[in-house]
Structure formats: C-alpha cells, structure tokens
Structure 1
Amino acid sequence: MEMKNQLHYLPDELIIQILLRLPVKSLVHFKCVCKSWFSIISDTYFTNSHFQLTAATHTHRALLISTVKPHVTRSIDLEASLDDDSAASVSLKPPYYSLPCNAIKGSCRGFILFLHGYRSFFLWNPSTGLHKKIPLSPYNLDHMYPNYYGFGYDQSTDDYLIVSMSSNLSSSYYEFFSLRANIWKQIDEGTHIHYSTCNMKGDYRTQGSLFNGAIHWFAHRLDLEKNVIFAFDLTERKLLDMNLPDEFGAKLHYGGLWVFQEFLSLSGGNYYNGTVEIWVMKEYKQHSSWTKTHVLPTDAIPYRYFCPLTSTKSGDIVGTDLLPGFVKYNDEGQLVWHHSYSILRDEYLVTMYIESLLSLPGDNVQA
C-alpha cells in the first residue's frame, strides 16, 4: 500500500508543467478537482505562463457572431479542417445579446472588446466567460461619433487600454481608458493633427490592428490629403503615422490591416481583375521595407472578396469572404479551401483571439 501511494504521488512542479499544456476548457473544469489545483490554475503567474505558451504554440481562433441573431456565436479553430464542423467549431453564449453592427472593436490576450448599443463597452473572455462593463468617455461632450477604436495591453504597467478617437476638420477627441486606473484620460500630443476614415472604398475596418505594442488603423490625414497608417503607442501614449507603400491603393477597391506571421501587413483587393495584394513591412516603421509578398486570385470566391485575418502555423493565409465564410490559401498563393456557414446568412462580426485564462484589473469582473 505504501509503494502504491508513492507511485501516485507527483511533485507540484511536474503537475504545473502538465497543466500548462492543457487547453483552457479543461483547466476551467479542473479547478474543481481539489483546492491545490484551484490555487495553481488561479495563480497569476500560472495564467500568464499558460497564455505565453498558448500564444507561441497554438493558432488563433476566429469568433463569428451573427448581428441578427447574436446568440448564434461560433468559435472556430482555423487550423482544423472546416469540413468537420463539429470538430472545428464550438457554440458560445456571449454575455449580451443586443449587439449592433460593427460592434467588435478589438481583441487582445484572449479578451474581445464590444461596443454595446453606443452606451458602453464591455470586455469578454470567450474561453472563461469572464466579462466587464466599461462606461463611455465623459470628455466627448459634443458626442462626436468615434472614427477609431482599439484595445491593447501595456506590458510595462500591466494595464489594458481601450482607445476611442474622433476627428474632423473642426475638432478632435483622442482618449483612452485605463483598466488599472479605472478612468478615461485624454491624449494631448498630436491632437492638432486631424484624421478621417480612409477614403478607400470597401471595408477598411475601424477596429484597430494590434502589433508591436501599438494599435494601427487606416486613416486619411486631412492636412496632407493622403491615406496613412495611423497608430497609438500603448506604452508611450503617443500618436504616430506611417506612409503606405508607394504602389499601394491606386487601383484597389478595399483594404485592411492585419498581422501576417511576425509583420505588420496590408491587404488590398481589386474586384475587376479578381486579385488581392499582400504587403508586409519587414522592418517596423521603415517605409523602404514594404514588400509585396503575394497576389492572390479571388475568381473562385463569391463576390471576388477576400479579407485576410491571420496565418496558420504552416504559413497558410486565412481570411473571410462576404457570405460569411472562411477562405484559405497556401504560402504559394493557391486556394486550399472555401467554407461557408449557412446558419449565418445575414450580417456578421468576426475577429481573431487566443484562448486564455487571464483576468482583468478591477473588482467588477463577472463570470
């Protein structure tokens, strides 16, 4: 009996290493196994270590929400074969059902930012169900409709920031909400520069693209009368902009910002010749490093529309069409598969996220 008990004993260090490699869904259930496992899985160091390992070894998941039927929500593993829908996707229940069109405003470290009825924001971790309500800014007294939103993490202060910006020819409001301080703050630097939504046709997406500690958007700089990439540095709390590639946008009808492998990337589509261009900035903030890496054919896709979202571990490029559905190209630019979701025939929201056990600063986080 003594020998049997010894064989069943595992040191805590080994238990932690095993738990770190399990999916979030399993770990949430395993909190109920015993007090020691609950303590391990709830520990901040463990949740951060688990997220770092997951981000490095797993592909991002796609969240797909119908705007007509918000309870129809799917989390999709884009690494899996979408032909087996039961294995590739799971149904989720968002904390709020009334989601207006274009309500997803950002994604960071497993949390997704929604704008709820233009009255408040809320953050939701689809993996754990945790969510938190955030009030709108009190500074925009004229109630200008914000042009740009973003959500990101400042590692230097262990803080999450929600960014909301409005701008036109006469006035501008640039502000962010610190979850750790639980307060909205105005951004003073750069507010003399006015931006408007990009004048490129199609879906330029006011949802910011998070990369290298900054949130990026397409924008039209009014004083220079040209399109740029407009960014907010989360650590320095500063605004900056970068020029687009010289050959980008002249004959394109729609475009988007995304992160391709380890690079800030642009995509631009042409309806008439049925192609999408992929550009990457190989050295961040270096205009001369812009490189066109792919020209993808879209003739076989309905409406000839393809908006890249992410790349898989094998280098495939995955994005959305207009149906809704997902499209995958291999690294050589060849169409691999196209999968539509008939249950989501109407307008829909989509964003990428990483599964995580992380929580947010503050006391009013709920499950």
Structure 2
Amino acid sequence: MPGFFIPARNSRHRTACFALYKALIQRARQVTLPEHVAYREPDKPYVHPIHRFVRHSFQQNKPETSPRLVFAALKAGYKFIKLLDAAKTPDSIAHKQVVSYLEKRRPPRMPPKNLRGQVEKREKQRAREARRATREAGGFIPGETDRRPPLLVRQVVPGSETMSRDGILTHLYEYVPGNPPRPLEEIPGGVRPVPVFTTESNGIPFLRMGKPQSPILSRALRIKGKKRRTRAQLASLLMRDELEFVGQEDIWENNLLKVAEEEAPRDAAAATFVREMSDEPTYRHSVAIAVAYINSQLNIETADMLARSRGMLKIIDRERTLAEQEAKEREAKQQQEGHLGDKKAA
C-alpha cells in the first residue's frame, strides 16, 4: 500500500467504517446496564455509555494513515461486535466484562484533540446566541458594559415617497445624531472637544476627535475605500476594454444573422436561428447594463455620504455650541472667584 494513501478519504474504507460503526451502536443499545453505570449527565441528552466509547474511538482513529494501525483498529471493532452480541444476556460472562470495564473507566467527557477546536467553536456559538437572546429580551449580561447608541441614525424624510415607473416605492433618507451630548463631568479635563469634519481620499466622511486615530475607525475607512475603488475600477475596465471587444462580437453576430436571413427561406434551422437572434440583446447592451448598475451603486454611495456629512455637521454645530456655552460659564466662574478673592484680600 503506498504511503500517501489516506484511508479516511477512500470511499470503500469509509463505507466499511460506517457499517462497522452502525453495527456497534445497534448492538450497544441492546445491552442492558445497571443504574450506577448507565448514568445521565445533567443538562445533556442521554447517550448510552458504550455508544460514547465507540464514538470516541472512531473519532480518535480518524486521522490515522498507517495501514498497520488502521487494520488493528478494524480488527478490534469486529471483535467487539462478537463481545456485544454475547453481552445481551445479563448473566453472561461478556456482560460482566462490559459492566466491570464501565465501572473502572468513566465515559470520556473531553473529545479527542483533533476535534476539541470544533467543540469549542460550537460552545462559543451557543454562548453568543444565548447572549444575543438575553440582550434582545432586555436582560442583564454579567461582565458586559452598556453599549452606547450609534453616532448617526438614518431616518426617512417625511413626504419624500416617490413611485418609480416599475412600481417601486422609494424614499429619501437623512441622518440625525443618534446619542445625546456627553455630560461635561464625563469628559477628561473638563473641556469639551469639538470634532473636526474630515474626508478620506475616496470622499468618505468621518469625524476626527484627535490623535491617535482609533484602529477600528481606520479599518472601517480602509474597507469602505477599498470597496468603492474596486467598483470604480471595474466600471472603468468595462468601458475601456470590454466595449471594444463586445463590439466585435456584435459585428460577428450581425454577419451570421445576415447569412441566416438569406438561408431562412430554404433552411428551417436558419429560420429558427433568425427568430432566436432577433429576441436576444446585444453584447454591448449587456456591458452597458453592467456599467449602469455599477454607476448607480456609486451614485447611491455618494448620496449616502452627502447625507452622512450633513448629519456629522449637525453634531459639530451642536458640540461647538455647547463648548462655547461651557467656555463662557467657566470664564464667568473664574471672574466671580477672582472678585471674591479680591474682596477677601481687601
């Protein structure tokens, strides 16, 4: 047998192993066990103890590629079929051997090393789903901080509903501040910073709060910019290279159509070809549709960025107004404290 042979990827070997596994499980369920051996783990579905050992053994031997080890494992499996057949009788020697083995060794709780990653992944997924359900129900999650509302919230502009020719209802959207201004007591230093409106090289707007810039914000801008550049480059490629190529294809199709129209009165296949070609769009039309779709997506993104910019400017105006008001209050407080100091000194 060659060294590169992997039994787990061989259809015949897999069929034989599945048949052996099924035979062992069927016989294991027919073996009656005393109560102290056939225990149940809390909060888990009941699994027959022998079933646990069989499943664990097959999982543990799954990555084996040595013909010697694979042959020994299969040979042991066929021997256990005979043992379980004999263990169906409660007073038999085989039944006592199975019970004695289960008393000495508890069923394995941890999966094999090659499957622990998958088990941990499933457990994390269950935990995430449980946290999501608790959060949606308004429950408390220990160790989880309160989430702040989003910076901007998209809302439908009242009275902006329009119906297209295709019968699709569309709306205009606007962005409004999603969270109230932070109290002055929560701001480090006691001075409210006013954010600066900035745009990325692709025109994506964002608010700069100072240095260093948040890695999360940098990553979001990088992903958005890459997506917008990819769309613009694809539209440019279609218009620069593909239009000329599809124009040549349309010329070829027209030449074939002319020849078929001449042969149509005498050839039924040519007449069928003429009918089919008259209903099909041209290649240039297909490329034009693709370019129009990409440009429409870019236009939608541009309109969304403009709406976001207006919402961010609202936040800047609000924060600047509060900062100026708080600065006047600090100045008045300092002047009042200065007058009080002068009176005490006098």
TM-score, normalized by the shorter chain, greater than 0.5: no
**Larger helix fraction of residues:** 2
Larger Rg over CA atoms: 2
TM class by shorter chain equals under 0.3
**Higher RCO structure, 1 or 2 (CA under 8 Å, sep 6+):** 1
After TM superposition, the score normalised by the length of structure 1 is 0.18
**Larger strand fraction of residues:** 1
After TM superposition, the score normalised by the length of structure 2 is 0.19
